[in-house]
Amino acid sequence: MGSLDCCCGAKSARRSAYTLVELLVTIAILGTLIALLLPAIQQAREASRRLACVNNLRQIGMALHNYHGVQQRFPPGRGDPLPSVFSTHAFLLPYLEQGALRQSIDFQQAPTTFSVAGGVVHSGAANLSAATARLEVFECPAESAGPGVAGSEFGATNYAANAGSGLDQWGSLTAADGVFFKGSRIAMRDLLDGSTSTVAMSERLLGPGTNGPSAVEVEPSRVMLEIAGGKDPTSAACSAPNGGNAYRERGAKWILGNYGNTLYNHYYPPNAATWDCLNLQQQKGLLAARSMHPDIVVTLYCDGGVRCVSSAIDLALWRAAATRSGGELDDAW
């Protein structure tokens, strides 16, 4: 009568899973794609962090120019006399949209509590609230140790003002050859080397804080050597890691004007392999600009321009960029 369709007798066989070989091939392909994409993602993230860092320094540069427009000079690197040893950063607050914070500071009192020779202690209690404020414009997004220095309650900064070449009296902050130092009142007219050739600020890595090994040679990019006994930080004294104490709180206090927190010089090239070195009072030192950006430091010049300076820059040229009136020829810029 009727014929039976052979196709209706059984369903065609279907594969329900990958074989082991196919699975391994798929994993290998995915691994290769990830390996190809990951560096590109990391580069994109670093480019974003570097751009944010550049923008921070541009804002600070605008603040410097606005301050100069009002005061006819740049702010000091370290306020004078005692106890008003405020940083450049503190004087710039009204020009960084931080007028309320500026109004909360008593510039007749100490920025933070500190002691001087003879055991005299200057209390920073009146300014503690302001000193502990965190300001993103002072922080580089590439900084891996932040925000802030571990174990410190204070607001930190990755940006330090240029005191000079560091060649004069072991980097003394008294009458230094840069733009920002103790009681400085430098104006545009004093920049005989030109504002486009004179550095205003650059980056520094934050100290690791209270935790971790104390030896300076273990973390030379972050730990500073503080020469014992109030001696000068000579090149010989600074080369011996056991010649002083490890200072682990670099950049911890944006409000305080000294080498430990908000000032630096160009004695060493950017991202130098050796550690920074300073005296006990933190008013003399041999230092370097440092950053987490690969092979560069982002640097603000006195004309407001921001440049990425190579770690391989000639040291003589780098030191020339630190001085305001050294008379050096700066053809490389």
Q: What is the pLDDT of residues 267-314, one digit of tens each?
A: 999 999 999 999 999 999 999 999 999 999 999 999 999 999 999 999
pLDDT in tens, 230-264: 799 999 999 999 889 999 999 999 999 999 999 99
- Classify residue 333: in a domain, yes or no: no
Structure tokens at 192: 């005989």
As beta bridge partners, residue 296 has: 310
Q: Report H helices in 204-326.
A: 235-238, 315-322
Rounded Cα gap, residues 108 and 105, in angstroms: 9
- 189 three-state secondary structure: helix
CA distance 6 to 66: 91
pTM of the prediction? Answer: 0.87
Please state the domain count of the chain: 1
Query: Is residue 4 over pLDDT 80?
Result: no
Task: For residue 161, give the H/E element and its range.
Answer: strand 159-162
Burial 27-59 (b: 16+ CB within 10 A, else e): eeeeeeeeeeeeeeeeeeeeeebbeebbebbeb
Q: Which two tokens stand for residue 66?
A: 């606005």
pLDDT more than 90, % of the chain: 76
Single-letter code of the amino acid located at 312:
A
Res 26: pLDDT: 83
Is 55 a domain residue? Answer: yes
List of residues 6+ apart from 205 with CB closer than 8 A: 143, 145, 158, 221, 222, 250, 251, 290, 291, 292
Predicted confidence at residue 21, as pLDDT, reads 77
- 251: in domain: yes
Sheet holding 224-227, edge to edge: 244-247, 224-227, 277-278, 285-286
* pLDDT for position 330: 56
How many CB atoms within 10 Å of residue 134? 14
- Domain membership of residue 190 (yes or no) is yes
Could you tell me the residue range of the domain that residue 170 belongs to?
45-322
Residue 308 pairs in a beta bridge with 298
pLDDT at 6 over 70: no
What's phi and psi for 167, nearest 5 deg? -85, -15
Residue 329 belongs to some domain of the structure: no
pLDDT level of residue 8 (50, 70, 90 thresholds): very low
Report yes or no on 248 lying in a domain: yes
Residue (of 109, 36, 37, 97) closest to 66 by Cα position: 97
Q: Which residues contact 3 (CB under 8 A, 6 or more apart)?
A: none
Q: Is residue 147 part of a domain?
A: yes
Question: Residue 306, SS3?
Answer: strand
Separation of CA 311 from chain center:
14
| pLDDT average, residue stretch 8-36 | 71
pLDDT tens digits, one per residue of 80-114: 999 999 999 999 999 999 999 999 999 999 999 99
Q: What is the rounded (10 degree) CA torsion for 315, 293, 302, 183?
A: -80
Asked if the structure places residue 9 within a domain, the reply is no
Model confidence at 9: pLDDT above 90: no
Which residue stretches of the chain are H helix?
A: 20-71, 88-92, 99-103, 128-131, 235-238, 315-322
Q: In this structure, what token pair is assigned to residue 273? A: 């392999």
